[in-house]
């Protein structure tokens, strides 16, 4: 029996590569051969997964969500560069984890893109999960040379708070992205504005109060109108596009740059050539931190399970609330949850997570060997 171990990260605990390593170690202890293929879906860990898949790591220096300089990296292979929000200006870059719902900026993402462009890529992949800001992509665009001014002509710092003050947008000195295919990898389908928009749906997760959510939604609406006055007549239509609200509106900015939104899960499976690797394996083990009723709606484990058919797929999760009678519909022959092996919370305990993944890998391995 040969097993392909292809998990996503366990958010807040282990990277996809670490999850794969622990499961593979458990399988090996049961005498089962496996191949590791860490995956991503466009969220945090996308760059790490690309590097694990053979992309080269390229160092960048960027501003975190609060403006503090930090070192990061992007992933490069051939003419493709992967840049992610999470490690450039996401939650992890906030000082002491303190939320800044009005003042966090996407500047760092734009700076990473600017440095990526020095490599003359043909394809730029933007992984948008894990953002800390709701600035409509102002920061990203500012790093590429776009300026934002208030009604008196004073240039504004790029952040959600100042989106309310933008009157004009000047892109005359912006970097040109002609010839670069911009891929927006995100499974978020929210528009930028309104009750289903970036502020209303994701603002509270970023620390915004009800009053701040209302302020940010109005601020983003003002920003879109400013674009409309400044040479972007389709700005409101772009704002209404599915996915424009991803990453606090970075999706909106990327669409204005000519990007195309794709399913993060589907795209990364293609990028890492999952279908090419699959033949010859008798079982696939996938997983992520949490599996629930939403997993079947385009989440990586379910997308992988669909593409793997007829090869059976077993999922491993930190926590699973998907009832056994729903496993088959989601594409899984079985689900192993770390929560079934301990009463402790594994989400913030990497060492316990490693131990349990090894144990589960061994258990799967023994079951696999017994059925061979």
What average pLDDT is seen over the chain?
A: 95
SS3 for 246? Answer: helix
- How far apart CA 161 and CA 157 sit, in angstroms, is 9
Closest to 163 (Cα-Cα) out of 115, 215, 116: 215
Token pair listed for 10: 């366990």
- Intra-chain end-to-end CA distance of the chain, in Å: 7
The number of CA neighbours under 13 Å toward the Cβ of 266 is 10
Closest to 30 (Cα-Cα) out of 66, 57, 50, 3: 3
Which secondary structure element, helix H or strand E, spans residue 82, and what is its range?
strand 80-84
| Helical segments of 148-299, H only | 160-163, 198-202, 210-229, 235-239, 250-256, 264-271, 274-277
Q: How confident is the model at residue 1 (pLDDT cuts 50, 70, 90)?
A: confident
pLDDT at 44: 87
- How far apart CA 134 and CA 104 sit, in angstroms, is 7
Helix, strand and coil content of the chain, in percent to the nearest 5, comes to 40, 20, 40
Residues 6 or more apart in contact with residue 346 via CB below 8 angstroms: 10, 13, 318, 338, 339, 352, 353, 356
* β partners of residue 82: 75, 125
Question: Following DSSP, what letter does each residue of 265-315 receive, concatenated?
Answer: HHHHHHHTTHHHH-TT-SEEEEEEEEE-GGGGTT-HHHHHHHHHTTS-EEE
pLDDT tens sequence across 131-182: 999 999 999 999 999 999 999 999 999 999 999 999 999 999 999 999 999 9
Say what angle helices 16-29 and 350-371 make with each other, to 10 degrees: 40
Which secondary structure element, helix H or strand E, spans residue 332, and what is its range?
none
- Asked whether residue 8 carries a pLDDT value surpassing 80, the answer given is yes
Rg from Cα positions in the chain: 21
- How far apart CA 242 and CA 249 sit, in angstroms, is 11
pLDDT at 348: 84
Average pLDDT over residues 329-338: 96
**Bigger pLDDT: 227 vs 96:** 227
Which secondary structure element, helix H or strand E, spans residue 249, and what is its range?
none
Q: How confident is the model at residue 280 (pLDDT cuts 50, 70, 90)?
A: very high
pLDDT at 372: 67
Say what angle helices 300-308 and 264-271 make with each other, to 10 degrees: 50
pLDDT at 296: 84
- Taking a C-beta distance cutoff of 8 angstroms, is the pair 135, 159 a contact? yes
- Asked whether residue 97 carries a pLDDT value surpassing 80, the answer given is no
DSSP state, 174? P
- How far apart CA 190 and CA 245 sit, in angstroms, is 5
CB atoms within 10 A of CB 251: 32
Average pLDDT over residues 208-228: 98
- Asked whether residue 10 carries a pLDDT value surpassing 80, the answer given is yes
pLDDT above 90 covers a percentage of the chain that reads: 91
Q: What does the longest C-alpha to C-alpha distance in the chain come to?
A: 75
Q: 343: burial class by Cβ within 10 Å (0-12, 13-18, 19+)? A: exposed
- Taking a C-beta distance cutoff of 8 angstroms, is the pair 253, 137 a contact? yes
- Asked whether residue 122 carries a pLDDT value surpassing 70, the answer given is yes
- How far apart CA 228 and CA 239 sit, in angstroms, is 11
pLDDT tens sequence across 46-58: 999 999 999 999 9
SS3 for 369? Answer: helix
Tokens 């729903």 -> residue: 326
């Amino acid at each position: 029996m040969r097993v392909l171990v292809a998990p996503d990260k366990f958010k807040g605990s282990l990277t996809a590569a670490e999850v794969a390593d622990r499961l593979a170690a458990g399988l090996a202890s049961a005498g089962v051969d496996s191949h590791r293929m860490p995956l991503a879906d466009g969220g945090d860990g996308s760059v790490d997964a690309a590097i694990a898949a053979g992309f080269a790591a390229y160092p960048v220096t960027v501003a975190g969500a609060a403006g503090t300089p930090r070192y990061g990296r992007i992933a490069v292979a051939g003419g493709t560069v992967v840049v992610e929000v999470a490690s450039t200006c996401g939650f992890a870059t906030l000082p002491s984890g303190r939320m800044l719902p009005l003042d966090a900026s996407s500047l760092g993402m734009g700076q990473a893109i600017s440095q990526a462009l020095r490599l003359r890529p043909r394809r730029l992949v933007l992984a948008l999960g894990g953002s800390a800001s709701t600035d409509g992509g102002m920061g990203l665009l500012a790093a590429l040379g776009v300026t934002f001014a208030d009604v008196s002509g004073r240039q504004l710092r790029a952040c959600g708070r100042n989106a309310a003050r933008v009157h004009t947008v000047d892109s005359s000195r912006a970097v040109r992205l002609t010839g670069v295919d911009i891929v927006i990898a995100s499974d978020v389908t929210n528009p930028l504005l309104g009750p289903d928009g970036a502020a209303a749906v994701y603002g509270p997760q970023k620390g915004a109060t009800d009053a701040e959510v209302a302020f940010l939604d109005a601020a983003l609406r003002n920003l879109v109108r400013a674009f409309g006055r400044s040479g972007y007549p389709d700005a409101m239509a772009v704002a209404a596009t599915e996915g424009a609200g991803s990453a606090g509106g970075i999706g909106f900015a990327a669409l204005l740059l000519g990007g195309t939104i794709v399913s993060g899960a589907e795209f990364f499976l293609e990028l890492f050539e999952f279908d090419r690797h699959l033949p010859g394996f008798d079982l696939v083990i996938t997983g992520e931190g949490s599996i629930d009723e939403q997993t079947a709606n385009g989440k990586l484990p379910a997308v992988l399970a669909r593409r793997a058919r007829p090869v059976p797929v077993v999922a491993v999760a930190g926590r699973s609330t998907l009832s056994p009678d729903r496993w088959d519909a989601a594409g899984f022959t079985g689900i192993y949850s770390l929560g079934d092996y301990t009463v402790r919370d594994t989400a913030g305990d990497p060492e316990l997570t490693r131990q349990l993944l090894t144990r589960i890998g061994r258990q799967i391995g023994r079951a696999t060997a017994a059925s061979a």
